[in-house]
């Protein structure tokens, strides 16, 4: 059961990831939303309406919250829908393939936002949230709706402004001191005697 | 130290890397207003002594004092009233004489008006006023040399240290420099100049320090040189045309020449052995005035060595 | 003996005189035209080439780090031109015979000459950064100019002091100005980088003590991982210089080579 579920996820999402990474590396426009609704016909008006991040351009190492909003325009709670035994939401990320997986319920005619936290690493990242209907009768998971978004994370800034300034001051200080030094050394009686 | 002593060396020794002692215990004192010649054959250590005196090199031992200040330890005090000319200095090709002198004027802390005034004066003196604002890089060797001389007297120094000042100058330039040096005598300027030409030194100096093999052999008044000149007044002459019997007789008949020795087809050695002392230059002038075309001449260059050898022997004998 | 205050004031003034004299000398020469025009032309290449044949990088930092990857070369060229003959020229051309018998400490002359070579080199570097900044503003707008540029500039200035020091050292060591210029140039351009690359890629140890390796910080501070030759991963780097250590190495090079150079110059005989 589980095994099958993962298998489907792998294929479907893998394709989406690939296309989005390609888009990501060639187009490379930060935080561009890519909408990809899997089913063509909306039999059931349920889906992921939004995938956003707590920060548009986070820095490396920062904790980013990923918001996945699921809307349910049906007159029934998600989970009470015919044939559907469970509704899962999966968040995927290129590096850690399956980022998070959650069993969800969303009330009728409402939407609900799910939060995931992620510690940012530098570079371009693509996140994809997929909603699955689990149908036990058919022993399958049906990907229903998905959404991708790209997040650009600035690398950790290297260095600071103060240190090179300090280093320049050190250089100028020592060079300056070297100009003054002979006048001092000449006045040290011990050195004077030694040289005579 | 007596106040009147401006230059003093105490047992100067300079040893070069290869163990050669270029200067070997040189001590002398020079008083204010004296014009002293530092005489010695090639390689005697004249330039080395002068480089120590001007802080270009440090002595291996001993010290050099100017106005009571150790030159190598307190160059700022020792050299502030010193003008120097050492060897054949180069030029800052990209500057003009005015800019060049301006920098040195500021190094010697001359006031601005004084600098401007001296630039005019000094450049006029060395005949470079016309080129005041042209790049030094375009100058001829003679002009460069004159500029270096201008620089050495620019700040009105009361002490002049000159190493072979007439080196590389034409006879006209040599004459001008001589006159310049002589004029310092009246102004109470102390001059220390090195040369390997007896004649040169005898013309401008009050006294002479004889240097040989890095050691001071003798310090004497310039009269000593006159004596030497009496003994060793000979001049090698190269003429344009080959010499015949008639020429030889003509030369022998001349007042200033006692002996004529034929060295080659057109080379002669002329000697004056007795009678009133005359300088080699006078001999040369007589020769030229008698219609001989002189290609080159070298007065007493060779016999300075002879003189030194005899002087050394004399000294050793007396010990 | 005069007071220490007067003494120091004199030394400072003498240093200043040498600096201004050196600057005057430098600014009369072709080297100024060469290095200053390179400071404009090199960054312009990075503007013109993508403008005509390709696209500009996505971010200002990427553009800046690409354009500034050549500032290193310019520092070495300008440093060799300005510092390569400061001492050797004085000996080879015998101008030292005029300069050294003056009432100055030779120490102040040599330090003045170092600073006199450092100033025009730093000016060249500044012009390079100015040109790059103008380009960044032109392409990405004023907002794109961030403090990474200032950081890189400061690192470049620190590197300039060490590059000029190394060349100054060769200038004091060697007899002829052409050899001192070339050796200064090649040691920074080839010898040290080759050693650093051998250590990095063959021996696989970090050559943190080599100044040209630290110079990588000039572009590293933009923290963009450049993908050279395409493909994810792009450039493969085994090591990157540490910011603080790299700058300290630069300063150590500056001081060691400067004072070695001064020591040799003072000891050196004026032939
Ligand atoms: N830098 C040096 N290294 C080694 N030996 C040197 C150096 N300078 C001078 N000497 C040697 O020291 C000796 C004295 O040289 P110096 O130049 O002082 O002589 P000089 O009296 O000025 O001779 P000249 O009339 O040729 O100028 C010479 O034998 C010379 O070869
Ligand atoms: Mg000499």
Cβ-based interface (< 8 Å): residues of C facing B: 2, 7, 10, 14, 17, 21, 24-25, 28-29, 93-98, 100-106, 269-270
Give the CATH fold of the A2-153 domain.
Answer: Immunoglobulin-like (2.60.40)
The answer to whether residues A138 and A43 touch, using CB atoms and an 8 Å cutoff, is: no
pLDDT at B275: 54
Whether the pLDDT of residue A24 is over 60: the answer is no
- Predicted pLDDT at B295: 79
Nearest CA in chain C to B57: C269
Cβ of residue C243 closer than 8 Å to a chain A Cβ = yes
Residue B158 has pLDDT above 80, yes or no: yes
**Tokens found for residue A139:** 């022993």
In this predicted model, what pLDDT tens digit does every residue of C29-88 receive, in sequence order?
999 999 999 999 999 988 888 888 878 887 888 888 888 989 999 999 999 999 999 999
Q: Would you state the pLDDT for residue C49? A: 86
The mean pLDDT of C198-212, rounded to a whole number, is 90
Alpha-carbon distance A159 to nearest alpha carbon in chain C (angstroms): 6
Assign A141 a pLDDT band (cuts: 50, 70, 90). Answer: confident
A186 close to B (CB below 8 A): yes
- Average pLDDT in chain C: 89
**% of chain A at pLDDT higher than 90:** 11
Mapping DSSP to helix (H, G, I), strand (E, B) and coil, where does residue C125 land? helix
Please, which pLDDT band fits residue C232 given cuts at 50, 70 and 90? very low
pLDDT in tens, A93-107: 876 666 777 777 777
Q: What is the pLDDT of residue B234?
A: 67
**Span between the terminal Cα atoms of chain C, in Å:** 32
Return left, alpha or beta for A106; rule: phi > 0 is left, psi -120 to 50 is alpha, else beta. beta
Confidence at residue C234, expressed as pLDDT on a 0 to 100 scale: 37
Tell me which chain A residues have a C-beta less than 8 angstroms from the C-beta of C115. 175
Burial of residue C64, with CB atoms counted within 10 A of its CB: 0-12 exposed, 13-18 middle, 19 or more buried: buried
Three-class secondary structure of residue C100 per DSSP: coil
Task: Tell me, in angstroms, the distance from the centre of ligand 1 to residue B212's CA.
Answer: 12
Q: Is the CB of B42 inside a 6 Å radius of any atom of ligand 1?
A: yes
CA distance A50 to A40: 18
Mean pLDDT computed over C188-193 = 93
Max CA distance (Å), chain C: 73
B74 interface with A at CB cutoff 8 Å: yes
| Out of A23-27, B52-56, B151-155, least confident range | A23-27
Q: How far apart are CA B41 and CA B196, in angstroms?
A: 5
Which subunits have 3 or more CB–CB pairs within 8 Å of chain C? A, B
Q: How confident is the model at residue B78 (pLDDT cuts 50, 70, 90)?
A: very high
Asked whether the predicted pLDDT for residue A148 surpasses 70, the reply is: yes
- pLDDT surpassing 50 at residue B301: no
- Domain ranges across chain A: 2-153, 162-195
Scanning chain B, the segments in alpha helix (DSSP H) are: 46-53, 75-78, 97-107, 112-125, 141-153, 171-186, 198-204, 223-231, 245-252, 280-289, 301-318
- What pTM did the predictor assign? 0.78
Q: Is B40 in the pocket of ligand 1 (CB under 6 A)?
A: yes
Between residues C144 and A168, which one has the greater pLDDT? A168
> What's the confidence (pLDDT) of residue C78?
96
Average per-residue pLDDT for chain B: 83
Q: What percent of chain C has pLDDT over 70?
A: 93
Q: What is the pLDDT of residues B79-138, one digit of tens each?
A: 999 999 998 888 899 999 999 999 999 999 999 999 999 999 999 988 899 999 999 999
Check whether C228 has a pLDDT greater than 70. Answer: no
Q: Quote the radius of gyration of chain C (alpha carbons, Å).
A: 20
Nearest chain C CA: its distance from A63 CA (Å): 20
For an interface test with C, the pick among A22, A179, A180, A186 (most C C-beta atoms closer than 10 Å) comes out as: A179
Specify the pLDDT at position C184: 94
Whether C214 contacts C208, CB under 8 Å: yes
Q: What is the ipTM of this complex?
A: 0.91
Q: What is the model's pLDDT at position C237?
A: 58
| Mean pLDDT (whole number) for B215-226 | 78
């Amino acid at each position: 059961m589980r095994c099958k579920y993962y298998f489907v996820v792998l294929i479907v999402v893998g394709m989406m990831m690939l296309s989005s990474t390609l888009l990501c590396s060639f187009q490379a426009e930060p935080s561009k939303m890519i909408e990809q609704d899997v089913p063509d016909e909306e039999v059931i008006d349920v889906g992921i309406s939004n995938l956003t991040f707590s920060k548009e351009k986070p820095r490396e190492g920062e904790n980013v919250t990923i918001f996945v909003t699921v809307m349910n325009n049906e007159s029934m709670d998600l989970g009470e829908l015919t044939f559907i035994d469970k509704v899962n939401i999966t968040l995927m990320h290129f590096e850690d393939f399956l980022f998070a997986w959650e069993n969800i319920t969303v009330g009728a005619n409402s939407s609900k936002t799910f939060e995931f936290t992620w510690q940012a690493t530098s570079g371009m990242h693509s996140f994809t949230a997929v909603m699955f209907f689990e149908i036990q009768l058919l022993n399958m998971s049906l990907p229903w709706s998905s959404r991708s978004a790209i997040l650009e994370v600035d690398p950790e800034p290297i260095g600071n402004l103060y240190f090179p300034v300090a280093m320049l001051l050190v250089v100028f200080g020592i060079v300056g001191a070297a100009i003054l030094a002979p006048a001092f050394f000449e006045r040290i009686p011990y050195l004077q005697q030694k040289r005579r | 130290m007596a106040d009147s002593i401006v230059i003093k060396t105490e047992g100067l020794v300079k040893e070069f890397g290869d163990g050669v002692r270029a200067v070997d215990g040189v001590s002398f004192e020079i008083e204010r207003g004296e014009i002293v010649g530092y005489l010695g054959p090639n390689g005697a250590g004249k330039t080395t002594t002068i480089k120590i005196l001007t802080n270009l090199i440090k002595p291996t031992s001993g010290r050099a004092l100017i106005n009571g200040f150790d030159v190598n330890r307190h160059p700022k005090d020792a050299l502030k009233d010193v003008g120097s000319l050492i060897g054949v200095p180069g030029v800052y090709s990209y500057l003009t004489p005015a800019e060049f002198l301006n920098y040195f004027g500021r190094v010697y802390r001359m006031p601005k008006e004084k600098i401007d005034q001296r630039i005019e004066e000094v450049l006029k003196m060395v005949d470079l006023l016309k080129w005041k604002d042209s790049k030094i890089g375009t100058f001829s060797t003679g002009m460069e040399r004159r500029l270096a001389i201008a620089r050495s007297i620019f700040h009105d120094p009361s002490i002049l240290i000159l190493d072979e000042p007439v080196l590389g100058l034409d006879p006209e330039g040599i004459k001008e420099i001589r006159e310049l040096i002589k004029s310092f005598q009246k102004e109470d300027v102390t001059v220390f100049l090195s040369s390997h030409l007896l004649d040169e030194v005898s013309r401008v100096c009050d006294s002479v320090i004889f240097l040989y093999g890095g050691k001071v052999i003798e310090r004497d008044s310039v009269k000593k040189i006159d004596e030497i000149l009496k003994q060793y007044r000979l001049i090698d002459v190269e003429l344009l045309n080959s010499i015949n019997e008639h020429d030889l007789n003509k030369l022998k008949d001349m007042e200033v020449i006692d002996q004529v020795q034929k060295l080659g087809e057109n080379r002669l050695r002329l000697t004056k052995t007795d009678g009133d002392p005359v300088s080699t230059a006078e001999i040369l002038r007589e020769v030229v005035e008698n219609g001989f075309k002189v290609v080159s001449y070298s007065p007493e260059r060779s016999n300075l060595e002879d003189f030194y050898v005899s002087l050394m022997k004399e000294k050793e004998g007396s010990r | 003996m005069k007071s220490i205050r007067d003494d120091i004031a004199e030394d400072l003034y003498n240093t200043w005189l040498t600096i201004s004299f050196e600057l005057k000398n430098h600014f009369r020469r072709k080297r100024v035209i060469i290095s200053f025009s390179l400071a404009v032309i090199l960054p312009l290449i990075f503007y013109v080439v993508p403008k005509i044949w390709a696209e500009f990088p996505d971010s200002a930092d990427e553009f800046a780090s690409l354009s500034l990857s050549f500032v290193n070369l310019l520092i070495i060229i300008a440093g060799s031109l300005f510092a390569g003959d400061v001492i050797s020229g004085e000996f080879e051309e015998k101008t030292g015979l005029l300069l050294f018998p003056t009432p100055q400490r030779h120490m102040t002359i040599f330090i003045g000459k170092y600073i006199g070579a450092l100033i025009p080199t730093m000016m060249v570097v500044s012009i390079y950064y100015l040109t790059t900044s103008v380009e960044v503003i032109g392409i990405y707008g004023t907002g794109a100019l961030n403090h990474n540029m200032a950081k890189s500039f400061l690192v470049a200035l620190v590197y300039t002091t060490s590059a000029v020091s190394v060349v100054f050292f060769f200038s004091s060591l060697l007899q002829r100005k052409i050899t001192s210029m070339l050796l200064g140039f090649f040691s920074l351009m080839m010898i040290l980088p080759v050693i650093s690359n051998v250590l990095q890629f063959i021996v696989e140890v970090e050559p943190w003590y080599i100044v040209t390796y630290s110079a990588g910080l000039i572009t590293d501070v933009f923290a963009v991982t450049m993908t050279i030759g395409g493909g994810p991963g792009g450039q493969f780097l085994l090591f990157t210089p540490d910011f603080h250590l790299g700058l300290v190495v630069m300063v150590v090079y500056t001081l060691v080579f400067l004072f070695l150079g001064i020591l040799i110059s003072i000891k050196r005989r004026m032939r």
